[in-house]
Amino acid sequence: MSKVSGIFGRTAKPNKPSVAKQNAARKVTCGQVMQKPRVLSSTVTMDRVLTTLTSRDWDHLFLVDDFGIPVGRIHAVDMLKLIQRKRVNRDLAWMQSVEASQLISQPPMQVSSRTPLLKAAALMITHDINQMAVVDHEGALIGVVSHAIVARHLPKFIL
């Protein structure tokens, strides 16, 4: 490695996280940093989902069953796409009779509260998702982690 002289004649060293910081980053779990999830029952209507998303200015929410188990995640963009396909003379009355669970094609990605945040971040990147459900030992939704949470908590260990 070549030495680079700084402005005061000191040798510049590249910033490299210490081994202790690297190990500490691996120990941060999803349960320590998760946020409260945005949740609705899977039996609500599409109209209720749309009303909730818009009135609370949310971009997504999780649908859960009677036991709190996540059955799906609905993103605002998914709702807009569905409305565009189903629109007939701007009549949205159909939304009041269709259950939101019909929009779900597969269960949401989820991790345990004990899962390292680094692993959750890798899963989100690999599967191209912005948020991931955090579940307890019984599978009930207890929180959510996102790219924003990763960006908020991991840089202090890396830089």
Which amino acid belongs to residue 59?
A: D
- The tens digit of pLDDT for each residue in 54-64 reads 999 999 999 99
At 92 the pLDDT is 67
For residue 93, being part of any structural domain is answered with: yes
How many CB atoms sit inside 10 A of residue 32's CB? 11
Q: Give the chain's domain count.
A: 1
- Domain at 126, CATH number: 3.10.580.10
Average pLDDT over residues 134-154: 94
For residue 2, being part of any structural domain is answered with: no
Using CA atoms, how far residue 144 sits from 61, 62, 83, 136, in Å, is 10, 10, 26, 12
Q: Whole domain around residue 59: which residue ranges?
A: 17-158
At 53 the pLDDT is 93
For residue 112, being part of any structural domain is answered with: yes
Average pLDDT over residues 5-21: 61
For residue 7, being part of any structural domain is answered with: no
Which H helix or E strand runs over 127? helix 117-127
Per mean pLDDT, which range of 26-30, 39-43, 78-82 is the poorest? 78-82
